Amino acid sequence: MARKLIAGNWKMNLLRDEGTALARDLALRLARTVDPAFDLLICPPATIIAPIAAAVAGSGLLVGGQDCHSAPSGAHTGDIAARMLADLGCSHVIVGHSERRQDHGEIDLMVAEKARAAQAEGMVAIICIGETEAERNAGRAPQICSRQIAGSLPRGATAENTVIAYEPIWAIGTGRTPTAAEVADTHAHIRAMLAVHVPAEAAGIRILYGGSVKPSNAAELLSLANVDGALVGGASLKADDFWAIAQAIAK
Ligand SMILES: O=C[C@H](O)COP(=O)(O)O
């Protein structure tokens, strides 16, 4: 069974001092933990990755980006290349988050190209998928996940360079989550789809659940079959809450 990954997506929050303090706090907790049962990752805003990566270097706390461009360099004002994130010490990059898909019109093909760019720089692509509430109510969640996996998974995806994050859009930041049975069903479906696209790698690719994960529901969610970790938004901005989510794995 894959070691669980607890990933914090800070989104567009925190300035340098508060972000660095939060990262240091987590790094210290991790350094004091003997043989942690999880990998711990934070994805700060791009503006503060550099000081944070420097502050936590050697602690075991992983640092990642929230997005990258698919091109290695060039005339793309305001964008960030995967190699720039790798250059700062990032190990992971989130791609295709629903907020990027919604706010920036990112489609599956673009997500696959971003994932490929991250992987080409030696980083792990965390590919986000998930249905809207309307799609869920129409009973189309499995088809949406299937379509997004088919379109967003780059050629050459392996268990080492790819993580899938299932985030039902209606659960993000709302305090609502699917039931445990629904999460288990969807993750099993995602595993089956991975087996279709990358048969040799499917069993090892980690599938995270995201959407209103908090200390009070983490133990149940993280105990489910095919739930290999969590992608945490709001609760990752507080060291106690994020750490409690990671600690829930062992309980
Ligand atoms: O990337 C993280 C997700 O969008 C979940 O956010 P949330 O934990 O605030 O619901």
pTM: 0.98
The set of protein residues with a Cβ atom below 6 angstroms from ligand 1 is 9, 97, 167, 172-173, 210-213, 231-235
pLDDT tens, residue order, the chain (251 aa): 679 999 999 999 999 999 999 999 999 999 999 999 999 999 999 999 999 999 999 999 999 999 999 999 999 999 999 999 999 999 999 999 999 999 999 999 999 999 999 999 999 999 999 999 999 999 999 999 999 999 999 999 999 999 999 999 999 999 999 999 999 999 999 999 999 999 999 999 999 999 999 999 999 999 999 999 999 999 999 999 999 999 999 64
Q: How far apart are CA 87 and CA 226, in angstroms?
A: 32
- Which atom of ligand 1 is closest in space to residue 11's alpha carbon? 1
Tell me the CATH architecture of domain 4-12+38-66+79-247: Alpha-Beta Barrel (3.20)
- Atom 8 (ligand 1) nearest CA: 233
How far is the centre of ligand 1, averaged over its atoms, from the C-alpha of 176 (Å)? 11
Q: What letter represents residue 97's amino acid?
A: H
161 to 92, 100, 231: CA distances (angstroms): 9, 21, 17
Provide CB contacts within 8 A for 6, sequence distance 6+.
Answer: 38, 39, 40, 41, 229, 230, 232, 242, 245, 246, 249
Q: What is the ipTM of this complex?
A: 0.99
Q: What letter represents residue 216's amino acid?
A: S
How far is the centre of ligand 1, averaged over its atoms, from the C-alpha of 198 (Å)? 27
Residue extents of the structural domains in the chain: 4-12+38-66+79-247
Cα 231 versus chain centre, distance: 5
> So which residues are the catalytic ones?
97, 167
